[in-house]
Amino acid sequence: MHTPSEVHSKDGTPLAFWRQGSGPALLLVHGGLCDHLAWHFAAPLLASHFTVWTFDRRGRGESGETQPWSVAREVEDVLALLDAIGEPAHLLGHSAGAILAVRAASGADRLRSLILYEPPYLIAGVRERPAPELLAQIERLLLSGDSDEALRIAMRETVNLADGEIDAMQSSPGWEHLRGAARAIPNDWRIWQEPFAPDSLKSVTAPCLVLAGSESPAWIRAAALAVFDTLPGAAFAELAGQGHSAMITAPRLFASSVCQFADNVATGR
């Protein structure tokens, strides 16, 4: 993809972003263990319908990183991109990026819509909060340079991957890209452990779509359904046969679901 442009967040952190396509603006907020390339397959399909904005979240890819990190600062990053767009936009977040998108939507002046693909809240009675020692272990591994084991722990705990599945990923060419994003695992870990606060979701006024894969882990599907039940007037769509990364495994299905919802919003359906 071409050389990125740059916008600065409220605390001065430079954020690299890319634009493609034409039409209403759509800002994509990627999840964990990745950067803007998470949208590599879906973005060109969406660009036939939207002006698609992708960016590297702070501490990843070509964006900067200012300490101390906080969830609030990542929310400010999303708001900075929305300000740079300069017009009402659709906002789409995946996984941890979906939690950031919800938070940003509560503070955004103008949104065409909010689209959330599996925000991974920990819902009481569905999944126990991981032991604090796990995060401490991940941080020690990253400090020692063992990003491979840190990635393995993150994948087991967040998307329930079995060791055999992780072994297959580790032997693939894409593993090196994952290693490059590993340093941000603790940040995403803290985002997806944000408390689920239904009252904060009720302040979102934009039309909303919640997406979930039919094959995603049960606790992630439960989180998506809890968000759907809480957001006023939200729509829900299941991505048949897909898990937590349909924008990679089924980009046409993913893009079609997003475009159809946006068309419904534009026509008032």
Q: What is the pLDDT at residue 110?
A: 85
Structure-token pair, residue 163: 């060791």
The 10s digit of each residue's pLDDT in 96-125 is 999 999 999 987 878 999 999 999 999 988
Asked if 166 and 152 touch (Cβ cutoff 8 Å), the reply is: yes
Q: Which helix (H) or strand (E) holds 166?
A: helix 163-170
Kindly give the parts of the chain with pLDDT less than 70.
Answer: 1
Q: What is the pLDDT at residue 194?
A: 82
The 10s digit of each residue's pLDDT in 138-150 is 999 999 999 999 9
Q: What is the pLDDT at residue 36?
A: 96
Cα 19 to Cα 207: distance, rounded to the nearest angstrom: 23
Q: Phi and psi of 210, rounded to 5°?
A: -110, 125
Cα 162 to Cα 17: distance, rounded to the nearest angstrom: 34
Q: Give me the amino acid identity at 83.
A: D
The pTM of this model reads 0.95
Domains and CATH numbers, the chain: 5-126+193-267 (3.40.50.1820), 132-187 (no CATH)
Cα 217 to Cα 51: distance, rounded to the nearest angstrom: 32
Q: Can you say whether the dihedral through the CA atoms of 90, 94, 97, 99 is positive or negative?
A: positive
